[in-house]
Amino acid sequence: DGGITQSPKYLFRKEGQNVTLSCEQNLNHDAMYWYRQDPGQGLRLIYYSQIVNDFQKGDIAEGYSVSREKKESFPLTVTSAQKNPTAFYLCASSSRTGDRNEQFFGPGTRLTVL
Amino acid sequence: DQQVKQNSPSLSVQEGRISILNCDYTNSMFDYFLWYKKYPAEGPTFLISISSIKDKNEDGRFTVFLNKSAKHLSLHIVPSQPGDSAVYFCAASASRTNAGKSTFGDGTTLTVKP
């Protein structure tokens, strides 16, 4: 089955520690995205990548870093510089071909910083 | 400045009736609009989309209407079913400039009562 996997589903970390969230897709999509969702709010774009070895900052990139060494993988590191890291993190991918823009989302990772 | 707004945080309707979810946008560059459905602790799933060259798109019980002059779109669900209870996100994309990169509204929580 094609899709996007995120691991782990729940993650707990102590304040001041960096943590990396995994995102893998087997949809052969060129573009991948990371979003953050806080309670009662929409999805805010952290980083996105439209091709391997290239990525751009989204609206709230401060305190986060990414890499895109493989087409299938787009890991997100939440660094100690992120002031409010506790949130629900969603990874998505989309095809760049054709006119359809819909994104396919993973199940999300809930990060809690203690 | 929020470019995509869903002004109703919640909506409650009776099973079998019509649900109407509204969305407003401000950026004239947006030319492709999407609706996503999200259950708690899961990633959003794509529901329906519309290109700016159309004013209506229908898929089964779901219809999206676009009023470009008013920068307004709406999602109609007829008839509403209890399984439709979820958070609905409106998203907008300037597909010609950044395929797949969408700006999301804050969502509307729909509750369909049996």
Give A5-46 pLDDT, tens digit per residue. Answer: 998 999 999 988 999 999 999 999 999 999 999 987 889 999
Opening angle at CA A56, ends A51 and A59, nearest 5: 140
pLDDT of residue A45: 92
Give me the residue label for tokens 């809930």: A110
- pLDDT of B1 above 90: no
Q: How confident is the model at residue B99 (pLDDT cuts 50, 70, 90)?
A: low
**Do A31 and B51 make contact, defined as CB atoms within 8 angstroms?**
no
Beta strands in chain B (DSSP E): 4-5, 10-14, 19-25, 32-38, 45-51, 56-59, 62-67, 72-77, 86-93, 102-104, 108-113
Neighbours of A100 (CB within 10 A): 15
Q: Which chain B residues touch A95 with a CB distance below 8 Å?
A: 100
What is the tens place of the pLDDT at every residue in A60-111? 999 999 999 999 999 999 998 888 999 999 999 998 766 667 899 999 999 9
The amino acid sitting at A61 is A
CB-based contact (8 Å) between B100 and chain A? yes
CA distance A90 to A106: 6
Q: What percent of chain A has pLDDT over 90?
A: 72
**Mean of pLDDT values over A38-59:** 91
pLDDT of residue A26: 95
Q: How confident is the model at residue B100 (pLDDT cuts 50, 70, 90)?
A: low
**Do A92 and B43 make contact, defined as CB atoms within 8 angstroms?**
yes
Q: Residues of A near B (CB-CB distance < 8 A)?
A: 4, 6, 31, 33, 35, 40-45, 48, 50, 88, 90, 92, 94-96, 99-108, 110
Q: Which residues pair with A70 in a beta bridge?
A: A73
What is the tens place of the pLDDT at every residue in B16-71? 999 999 999 999 989 899 999 999 888 999 999 999 999 999 999 999 999 999 99
Task: Give yes or no for a contact between A16 and A85, defined as CB atoms under 8 angstroms apart.
Answer: no
The amino acid sitting at A56 is Q
CA distance A82 to A16: 9
Three-state SS at B98: coil
What is the tens place of the pLDDT at every residue in B74-88? 999 999 999 999 999
Torsion-angle region of A30 (φ positive above 0: left; ψ -120 to 50: alpha; else: beta) = alpha
The residue among B99 and A52 whose pLDDT is bigger is: A52
Nearest to A102 by CA among B36, B109, B28: B36
CA distance B89 to B5: 10
Task: Give yes or no for a contact between A19 and A11, defined as CB atoms under 8 angstroms apart.
Answer: yes
Residues in B 47-76 with any Cβ partner in A closer than 8 A? 49, 51
CA distance A16 to B105: 31
Task: Give yes or no for a contact between A47 and A88, defined as CB atoms under 8 angstroms apart.
Answer: no
Nearest to A55 by CA among A26, A38, A37, A77: A77
